[in-house]
Chains A and B, each alone.
Chain A
Amino acid sequence: MKVTFKIWRQDKPQAKGAFKEYQVDELTEDMSFLEALDHLNERLVLRGEKVIAYEYDCREGICGQCGVFINGRAHGPHPNITTCQLHMRSFKDGDTIVVEPWRANAFPIVKDLIVDRSAFDRIIEQGAYISAKTGTAPEANAILIGKAIADRAMDAAACIGCGACVATCKNSSAALFTAAKINHLNSLPQGKPEAHQRVLDMTAQMEREGFGHCSFTGACEVECPAGISIANIAEMNARQGKAQLLG
Chain B
Amino acid sequence: MTLNAKIPEGRLEDKWRNYQTQSRLINPANKKKLHVIVVGSGLSGAGAAATLAELGYDVQCFCYQDSARRAHSVAAQGGINAAKNYQHDGDSVWRMFYDTLKGGDFRSREANTYRLAELSAPLIDHFTQQGVPFAREYGGVLVNRSFGGVQVQRTFYARGQTGQQLLLAAYSQLYKMVRMKKVSLFTRHEMLDLVLVDGKAKGIIARDLVSGALKRFAADAVVLATGGYSRVFRLSTLAIGCNGSAIWKAHKRGAFFAAPSFTQIHPTALPQSSEAQSKLTLMSESLRNDGRIWVPKQTDDPRAANDIPEEERDYYLERRYPSFGNLAPRDIASRAAKERIDAGFGVGRLKNAVYLDFKHAIERFGINTIQDRYGNLFDMYKKITGIDAYREPMQISPAAHFSMGGLWVDYELMTTIPGLYAVGECNFSDHGANRLGANSLLQASVDGYFILPNTINNYLAAALNKEQVSTDHPAFKQVEVEVKQHIDRILAIQGTKTVDHFHRELGKVMWQECAMSRNRAGLERAIAQIKQIRADFWSDVKVTGHSDELNTELEKALRLADFIELGILMCTDALQREESCGAHFREEFQTPDGEAVRVDDLYAYVSAWEYDQGDFKLHKEVLDFEFVQPSVRSYK
Contacts of B51 in A (CB 8 A): 133-134
A57 contact from B159, B168, B169, B239, Cβ within 8 A: B239
A118 to B51, alpha carbons, bound, how many Å? Answer: 23
Whether A59 contacts B239 by the Cβ 8 Å rule is: yes
Q: In the complex, what distance in Å separates the CA atom of A60 from the CA atom of B77?
A: 11
Q: A133-B54, A190-B129 are in contact. Are A157 and B136 (CB under 8 A)?
A: no
Q: Is A44 part of the binding interface, using a Cβ–Cβ cutoff of 8 Å?
A: yes
Asked whether, in the complex, the Cβ of A110 is within 8 Å of the Cβ of B140, the reply is no
> A138: which of B125, B139, B158, B553 is its contact (CB, 8 Å)?
B125
Distance, CA A141 to CA B457, complexed state (A):
32
A218 to B241, CA, bound (A): 34
Closest to B140 in A: A144
The binding surface of chain A is classed by DSSP as loop
Given contacts A117-B66, A125-B179, contact A28 B276 (CB under 8 A): yes
Q: What 4 A-B pairs have minimum CB-CB distances, sorted nearest first?
A: A144-B140, A137-B129, A129-B172, A154-B133
Alpha-carbon distance A48/B498, docked complex (angstroms): 11
**B173 surroundings in chain A (CB, below 8 A):** 129, 134
Does A58 interact with chain B (Cβ within 8 Å)? Answer: yes
Write out the residue numbers on chain A whose beta carbons fall within 8 Å of the beta carbon of B299.
Answer: none
Q: Name the residue of chain B whose CB is nearest to the CB of A154.
A: B133
Contact A60 B276, beta carbon cutoff 8 Å: no
Q: Point out the residues of chain A lying under 8 angstroms from B130, CB to CB.
A: 129-130, 132, 137, 190
Q: Which residues of A contact B498 (CB under 8 A)?
A: 42, 45-46
B552 touches A53 (CB 8 A): yes
Chain B min CB distance to A193 (Å): 11
Asked if A51 is an interface residue, CB under 8 A from chain B, the answer is yes
A126 within 8 A of partner (CB): yes
Chain A residue nearest to B380 in the complex (CB)? A61
The chain A residues found within 8 Å of chain B, CB to CB, are 11, 28, 30-32, 34-35, 38-39, 41-42, 44-46, 48-51, 53, 55-65, 81, 85, 87, 89, 110-111, 114, 116-118, 120-121, 124-126, 128-141, 143-147, 150-151, 153-154, 157-158, 160-161, 184-185, 188, 190-191
* B67 contacts chain A at the CB level, 8 A cutoff: yes
> B126 to A34, Cβ gap below 8 A?
no
Residue B291 lies at the interface, judged by CB distance under 8 Å to chain A? no
Question: Nearest residue in A to B48 (C-beta to C-beta)?
Answer: A134
Given A64-B70, A129-B169, A190-B131, 16 more pairs with CB closer than 8 A: A35-B276, A38-B500, A57-B65, A58-B70, A58-B239, A61-B380, A61-B383, A62-B164, A124-B69, A125-B178, A134-B450, A138-B125, A144-B140, A158-B159, A158-B161, A191-B131
Q: In the assembled complex, which residues on chain B have CB atoms less than 8 Å from the CB atom of A81? A: 383
CB pairs A–B below 8 angstroms (29 shown): A35-B276, A45-B499, A45-B542, A46-B498, A51-B544, A51-B551, A53-B550, A57-B72, A59-B278, A60-B380, A62-B75, A63-B72, A63-B75, A63-B239, A85-B384, A121-B175, A124-B171, A124-B175, A125-B178, A129-B130, A130-B129, A130-B130, A134-B47, A134-B126, A134-B449, A138-B125, A140-B125, A147-B137, A150-B134
Cβ of B176 and Cβ of A129 under 8 Å apart? yes
Q: Are A48 and B276 in contact (CB under 8 A)?
A: no
Question: Which residues of A sit under 8 angstroms from B543, Cβ to Cβ?
Answer: 45
User: B126's closest neighbor in chain A, by CB?
Assistant: A137
B70 contacts which of A65, A130, A134 (Cβ < 8 Å)?
A65
Show the binding face of B for A, using Cβ within 8 Å.
47, 50-51, 54, 65-70, 72, 74-75, 84, 86, 122, 124-126, 128-131, 133-142, 158-159, 161, 164-165, 168-169, 171-173, 175-176, 178-179, 187, 210, 239-241, 273-274, 276-279, 281-282, 380, 383-384, 386, 449-450, 453, 496, 498-501, 542-545, 549-553
Given A45-B542, A50-B545, A134-B54, do A140 and B135 touch, yes or no (CB 8 Å)? Answer: no
Contact A161 B124 (CB under 8 A): no
Instruction: From A58, A118, A150, A157, name the one whose CB has the most chain B CB atoms within 10 angstroms.
Output: A58
A30 to chain B, nearest CB (A): 5
Q: How many A-B residue pairs have CB under 8 A?
A: 217
Contact: A50 with B544, CB < 8 Å? yes
How far is A147 from B168 in the complex, measured between Cα atoms in Å? 21
Q: Once bound together, how far apart are the Cα atoms of A31 and B279, in whole Å?
A: 11
Report yes or no: B276 in contact with A116, Cβ–Cβ below 8 A. Answer: no
Query: For residue B133, which residues in chain A have a CB less than 8 angstroms away from its CB?
Result: 150-151, 153-154, 157, 184, 188
Q: Report chain B residues within 8 Å CB of A34.
A: 278
Identify A120's interface contact among B47, B67, B125, B542, CB under 8 A.
B67
| Bound CA span A123–B501, Å | 41
**A67 to B98 Cα, complex, angstroms:** 44
Q: Which of B65, B128, B168, B240 contacts A157 (CB 8 A)?
A: B168
Least CB distance from A175 to B in Å reads: 19
Q: Which residue of B lies closest to A132 (CB)?
A: B129
What are the residues of chain B within 8 A of A157 when measuring CB–CB? 133, 158, 165, 168
| Chain B residue nearest to A26 in the complex (CB) | B276
A106 CB to nearest chain B CB (Å) = 14
Give bound CA distance, A64 to B142, whole Å. Answer: 28
| A residues less than 8 Å from B241 (CB atoms) | 57
- Smallest distance from the beta carbon of B395 to chain A beta carbons, Å? 13
A124 touches B161 (CB 8 A): no
Which residue of A is nearest B134, CB measured? A150
Q: B141 to A144, Cβ gap below 8 A? A: yes
B599 to chain A, nearest CB (A): 38
Cβ 8 A contact of A32, one of B66, B138, B278, B545:
B278
Residue contact B273 to A30, C-beta cutoff 8 Å: yes
Cβ–Cβ contact A57 & B70, under 8 A: yes
Q: In the bound complex, do residue A51 and residue B552 qualify as a contact, i.e. CB atoms below 8 Å apart?
A: yes
Closest chain-A Cβ to B170's Cβ sits at a distance in Å of: 10
Docked Cα-Cα span, A126 to B178, in Å, equals 10
Partner of A137, one of B122, B137, B171, B187: B122
Q: In the complex, what residues of A have CB within 8 A of residue B276's CB?
A: 28, 31, 35, 38-39
A70 to chain B minimum Cβ distance, whole angstroms, is: 15
C-alpha spacing A9/B232, complex, angstroms = 31
A150 and B384 CA atoms in complex are apart in Å by 29
Q: Using A35-B276, A46-B542 as known contacts, say yes or no to A60 and B75 having CB atoms under 8 A apart.
A: yes
